[in-house]
Amino acid sequence: MENPNENTVEEFLREWLLQLDSLEGPVEFDRGLEEIGMDSLSIVDLSVAIRKSFNVEIKPSEINPYVTVEEVAKMIHKAAARK
């Protein structure tokens, strides 16, 4: 997917997060990943899903548990813009 728009990225993140067994509460973009129940393994899985869906590389080490869902969306847009 080339140059994903804001809605596409938000929809991807919302759908991906809703599939997590560990999800705690609703998907709110101002909540941190750890706060919604993500751990280091799910962060690795998210990194892989981002690469497959948007053809951009965001390393798991760049996605720490304290970043918000919104910050992950911004990382995707930034990585896509560098392509």
* Extents of the domains making up the chain: 6-82
Q: Count CA atoms closer than 13 A to 35's CA, side-chain side.
A: 11
The DSSP output letter for 32 is B
Q: Count CA atoms closer than 13 A to 4's CA, side-chain side.
A: 24
Whole-model pTM: value is 0.88
Q: Provide the pLDDT for residue 3.
A: 64
Q: Per the structure block, which two tokens stand in for 47?
A: 């990194």
Q: Per the structure block, which two tokens stand in for 68?
A: 């918000």
Tell the residue number behind the tokens 């995707």, with chain if given. Answer: 76
pLDDT band at 21 (very low <50, low <70, confident <90, very high): confident
Q: Between these two residues, 6 and 60, which has the higher pLDDT value?
A: 60
Please check whether the domain covering 6-82 is classified as CATH 1.10.1200.10. yes
Q: Are 63 and 48 in contact (CB under 8 A)?
A: no
pLDDT tens digits, one per residue of 50-74: 999 999 999 999 999 899 999 999 9
Please state, rounded to an integer, the average pLDDT across all residues of the chain. 90
User: To the nearest whole percent, how much of the chain has pLDDT over 90?
Assistant: 71
User: To the nearest whole percent, how much of the chain has pLDDT over 70?
Assistant: 95
Q: Per the structure block, which two tokens stand in for 55?
A: 């053809």
